[in-house]
Amino acid sequence: MIYEVINVSIPSLLNPSLTASWEKGLKMVNDKEIEPKEFMIKLEAYTRKNTTKVLNNPNISFLNTKLLKIKNQ
């Protein structure tokens, strides 16, 4: 079910290149190429933007109803 929510609202989250990007950012923090705070600001902005996408998705009510049915089985 969570896959469907993500696939409909944030398909980029399912792309392995996103994980690679985060790993690159963490390596840059580790190598002191960027400050941890800079990485966190970017990660929080990404999270905020995409959380808003999910909440504003017109299909969210349908998906929520479907999730509740599965949960109650």
Quickly state the pLDDT bin for 1 (edges 50, 70, 90): low
Name the least confident of 21-30, 36-45, 60-69.
60-69
Answer yes or no: are the C-beta atoms of 18 and 35 closer than 8 Å: no
Q: How confident is the model at residue 62 (pLDDT cuts 50, 70, 90)?
A: confident
Per-residue model confidence (pLDDT) at position 50: 86
56 residue type, one letter: N
Report whether pLDDT(38) > 90: yes
Site of tokens 């690159």: 24
- Domain of residue 59: give its range: 2-71
Distance CA(54)–CA(50), nearest Å, equals: 6
Q: What is the sign of the dihedral through the CA atoms of 27, 12, 7 and 39?
A: positive
Rounded (5°) CA angle 34-49-18: 55
Domains identified in the chain, total number: 1
At residue 68, the pLDDT reads 77
Cα radius of gyration (the chain): 16
Query: Between 52 and 35, whose confidence is greater?
Result: 35
